[in-house]
Amino acid sequence: MEYPLPIIFDWLRSVLWPLFRISAMLMVMITIGGSSVPARVRLLLSVMITAAVAPVLPTPPAIDLLSAEGFLISAQQVLIGVAVGFVSVLVLNTFVLAGQIIGMQTSLGFASMVDPSNGQQVPVIGQFFLLMTTLFFFAVDGHLLMIRMLIASFETLPIGEGLLVANFDSIAKFGGLMFATALTMSLSAATALLLINFSFGVMTRAAPQLNIFAIGFPITMVSGLLILWLTLGGVLPHFYAMWDEGQILICDLLRLDCEVR
């Protein structure tokens, strides 16, 4: 049986362009896009998802794959997937940054370990917050929700249309929200440590013979562990708030009509 060349190109267009968008998101999104997950696994997962949803997706425009316009559309699909996956990275890095700030303020930042996602030395407190919020992310089925929204975007943001300039501005503003949220989470711990250090200053003025370095460092570390324990109760509400903002941004990027809880 022989297939005409136009039929083969139609099939390739209906498969390759959705594959570019889906695989780009999976290559960037949190945990799945980390270096700890082999690239072959991510590629196989992208192919399986594309094969499952390709028959029900809208028909792509009849544009030659090897033309300049075809390459532009391929780049658009990759950019859309990267933007959606990058939002999840910003959401979880909010808590990594908050953990690093708390760790440095509480003198617990001296303990560091290799981050498996990027191979860099980072404070253990930041990794602890990352692991905890990653569990929250998968517990609320965040990965499934992102895949579902990306599949629905083929209706609202069809192949051939790209992101707007305002969308990139929204991502940049979301980065600012990430820093603001991380600072808000760590502000209570930083204030508590400031009061502790202030009390050490008063003690030094009242009793200069005390070795402030001998007693200050262990007290600061023990206080840091106590403050960290008290801070854990507010992580989940902050995660829900930040994830809701991330969903709103993804819906705005993909032009979806979403109802966030």
Mean pLDDT of 54-67: 84
Assess if residue 45 is contained within a domain.
yes
Residue 26 is part of which domain span?
Answer: 5-254
Assess if residue 260 is contained within a domain.
no
Assess if residue 195 is contained within a domain.
yes
Q: What is the pLDDT of residues 106-152, one digit of tens each?
A: 766 665 655 555 555 667 787 888 888 999 999 999 999 999 999 99
Can you tell me whether residue 48 is helix, strand or coil? helix
Tokens of 67: 């033309």
Assess if residue 36 is contained within a domain.
yes
Mean pLDDT of 38-50: 91
Residue 74 predicted with pLDDT over 60: yes
Assess if residue 147 is contained within a domain.
yes
Assess if residue 135 is contained within a domain.
yes
State the pLDDT at residue 146: 93
User: Which DSSP state fits 61?
Assistant: P
Mean pLDDT of 175-191: 87
Assess if residue 261 is contained within a domain.
no
Instruction: Find the Cα–Cα–Cα–Cα dihedral 61, 17, 47, 91, rounded to 10°.
Output: -130
Q: What is the pLDDT of residues 151-162, one digit of tens each?
A: 999 999 888 888
State the pLDDT at residue 205: 74
Question: 152, 254 in Cβ contact below 8 A?
Answer: yes
Number of H helices, E strands in the chain: 8, 2
Residue 7 predicted with pLDDT over 80: no
- Domain count of the fold of the chain: 1
Assess if residue 143 is contained within a domain.
yes
Strands of the chain (E only): list them: 112-114, 121-123
Compare 191 and 111 and report the one with higher pLDDT.
191
Mean pLDDT of 222-230: 81
Tokens of 116: 């498996």
Residue 22 predicted with pLDDT over 90: yes
Residue with tokens 């404070």: 123
Residue with tokens 């249309």: 161
Mean pLDDT of 58-72: 84
